[in-house]
Amino acid sequence: MKINLIEYLEETIQQFPDKIAVIDGESIITFNDLAQKAKILANNLIDANNTLNQPIAIYLPKSIEAVYSDIAVTYSGNIYMNLDVKTPVQRIGNIIDLIKPVAIITNNKYLKTIAEINPQNVKIVNLDDVNLIGEYDNDFIFDRLKKTIDTDPYCIINTSGSTGTPKGVVLNHRSFIDFISRSQEVFNFTNDEIIGSLSPLVFDIYSYELCLLMANGSTIVVIPDHLSAFPASILKILQETKVSFLFWVPTIMVNIANMDLFSQINLPSLKLVWFAGEVFPTKQFNYWRHNLNHTRFANLYGPIEITLDCAYFVVEREIKDEEPIPIGYAYKNTDIIILDDNNNRITTSGVDGELCVRGTSLAMGYYNNPEKTAAAFVQNPLNHSYPELIYRTGDIVFINDLGEMVFKGRKDNIVKHMGYRIELGEIEHVIINTLKLVENGCVVYNHSQKEITLFYESEQEITAADFRKAIGLSLPKYMIPTVYIRLDELKQNTNGKIDRLYYNNQVNKK
């Protein structure tokens, strides 16, 4: 049993030293060269700080540099935390102020920016000043790593916080190792996987892609951020590099379906597609599945506080366009508890409840934030005999007639309107999947005006009267939106999801 993720990487380097580890445009790097740069940088980090289990921030775009910097932090026995170079500087400053990293890794291009937003005068390691060709002290690195254990932190991933400062979710080695093992059992990853890496560095999907690189010798193909607006160009990269595995948030997959791009571009090498982080409209999913009938698809579920996901559904049956795609079943070594409002476990099909999780997949909590940690990671209300934490996701699910878990919406996405409790996600589902009125949409609630607002993507504007007439055939009057706003494309957040907070703030003037 592995203790540290570096143990995987060392085995991979021995087996595949000359194999390409990362493809970044015209640049490539082998596993041997990747390890050399990471170890030299790790030696520099140790000499500069001599710390263990402390956060080190990386302020770089997604690149080969960022990959070996993350690995270097792990070699040094510390915790990597990626920062998004496109995030407003005030937000980055808030993160640094909360997490208090012992060092920040960057390069010449971003040196001035990070220096200006570094209020604590944290040590800055400029990659352009580090000689990454030469000798390194391998024994010194591994003598230090002997002091680490599997429950030590591996990385910090920042997620939205209500105060304007993101919460730093702490994930450990054991949780990632467990997820790697559980995923291997279900999906049989090989040593030949080529990953089409689209997610930002700050997303947990990237952290798993990095794990696949280390544990399986998988090759990461970096897809440039700016290509998100050009999905045809992304598909061409997947085709040219013979990508075999995708792990994407569905938003761009919806765009690819809406543009019918598989009529122009084929992906014969694509064997497995995971999607997670957001509901995938079933009509657009079926477009993918029917056009890529040689590909296996799986819907994964899990908030950032769970490493990496706790439930999965391999799509092996036909799913009608109007039916939501289930999130399926709990991963091995993970227990999913569905609780009602009285903290009783729900076992009856069709009854809604809050999804809660226990097991090794749980994050360690929020860094330097004990109050938020205590509120989210709580004692299992079904266990009165010994301490046992669960994570309350705030997501509402139910078990369907086939015994599959189905995501229904957010607990905090339930509003009281005209005296009725309404799940906004249900309105979205009916408009997008059942009635197929629009290609994509986001429903939010204007609390001051007591109005339901729909932001939607469509080639042509649909009149409010036509919307109301169509929706009224499936939903009661009190669930029909009042305001309809057409957009060419819905705004996405850093993680590639529809930015619901942005649209909520738009209608509530925050």
How does pLDDT run across 336-346, given as a tens digit for each residue?
A: 999 998 999 99
Question: In the predicted model, is pLDDT for residue 510 greater than 70?
Answer: no
Q: Is 462 exposed, middle or buried (0-12, 13-18, 19+ CB in 10 A)?
A: middle
Cβ atoms of 251 and 498 within 8 Å: the answer is yes
Mean pLDDT of the 248-264 span: 93
- What does the angle CA 429 – CA 430 – CA 431 come to, to the nearest 5 degrees? 95
Residue 109 included in any domain = yes
Q: CA–CA separation, 152 vs 79, rounded Å?
A: 9
Tell me what pLDDT residue 429 has: 86
- Out of 193, 222, 251, pick the residue that ends a domain: 222
Q: Which residue has the tokens 């090759």?
A: 219
Tell me what pLDDT residue 78 has: 97
CATH code for the domain in which residue 59 is found: 3.40.50.12780
Mean pLDDT of the 22-41 span: 97
Mean pLDDT of the 479-507 span: 87
- Out of 178, 200, 222, pick the residue that ends a domain: 222
Q: CA–CA separation, 230 vs 423, rounded Å?
A: 33
Q: CA–CA separation, 12 vs 247, rounded Å?
A: 22
CB atoms within 10 A of CB 188: 10
- Grade residue 420 by pLDDT with cuts at 50, 70 and 90: low
Peptide bond into 210 cis (omega under 30): no
Please name which of 215, 275, 282, 285 lies closest in space to residue 248, comparing C-alpha atoms: 275
Residue 367 included in any domain = no
Cβ atoms of 471 and 480 within 8 Å: the answer is yes
- Alpha-carbon distances, residue 195 vs 243, 316, 367, 428, 505 (angstroms): 6, 22, 30, 31, 35
Question: In the predicted model, is pLDDT for residue 121 greater than 90?
Answer: no
Mean pLDDT of the 424-444 span: 89
Residue 181 included in any domain = yes
Q: CA–CA separation, 100 vs 106, rounded Å?
A: 16
Pairing of strands 123-126, 55-59: unpaired
Pairing of strands 353-359, 334-339: antiparallel
Tell me what pLDDT residue 210 has: 98
Q: CA–CA separation, 432 vs 324, rounded Å?
A: 11
Cβ atoms of 408 and 398 within 8 Å: the answer is yes
Mean pLDDT of the 409-413 span: 77
Residue 177 included in any domain = yes
pLDDT in tens, 218-239: 999 999 888 888 999 999 999 9
3-state secondary structure of 12: helix
Cβ atoms of 241 and 221 within 8 Å: the answer is yes
Please name which of 493, 503, 507, 500 lies closest in space to residue 84, comparing C-alpha atoms: 493
3-state secondary structure of 382: coil
CB atoms within 10 A of CB 87: 17
Q: How many domains does the chain have?
A: 2
Q: Is 402 exposed, middle or buried (0-12, 13-18, 19+ CB in 10 A)?
A: exposed
DSSP state of 331: P
3-state secondary structure of 501: helix
Q: CA–CA separation, 299 vs 313, rounded Å?
A: 5
Lowest mean pLDDT among 161-175, 248-262, 481-495: 161-175
**Helix boundaries (H) for 241-369:** 250-258, 282-291
Tell me what pLDDT residue 166 has: 79
Tell me what pLDDT residue 160 has: 66
- Grade residue 145 by pLDDT with cuts at 50, 70 and 90: very high
pLDDT in tens, 130-139: 999 988 899 9
Sheet containing 272-275: which strands, arranged edge to edge?
Answer: 27-30, 20-24, 219-222, 194-197, 245-248, 272-275, 296-301, 311-314, 329-330
The phi and psi torsions of 419 (rounded to 5 degrees) equal 85, 0
Tell me which of 315 and 167 has the higher pLDDT.
315
Sheet containing 451-457: which strands, arranged edge to edge?
Answer: 440-446, 451-457, 483-487
Mean pLDDT (the chain, rounded): 92
Beta-bridge partner residues of 175: none
Residue 185 included in any domain = yes
Residue 309 included in any domain = no
User: In the Cβ-directed half-sphere of 508, how many Cα atoms lie within 13 Å?
Assistant: 14
Structure-block tokens of residue 185: 């059992």
Percent pLDDT > 70 in the chain is 97
Tell me which of 178 and 89 has the higher pLDDT.
178
Mean pLDDT of the 261-283 span: 94
pLDDT in tens, 346-386: 989 999 999 999 999 999 999 999 999 999 999 999 999 99
Cβ atoms of 169 and 153 within 8 Å: the answer is no
Residue 242 included in any domain = no
Mean pLDDT of the 429-456 span: 90
Structural domain of 53: 5-222
Residue 369 included in any domain = no
Cβ atoms of 150 and 174 within 8 Å: the answer is yes
- Out of 185, 200, 222, pick the residue that ends a domain: 222
Q: What length is written for the chain?
A: 510
- Grade residue 162 by pLDDT with cuts at 50, 70 and 90: very low
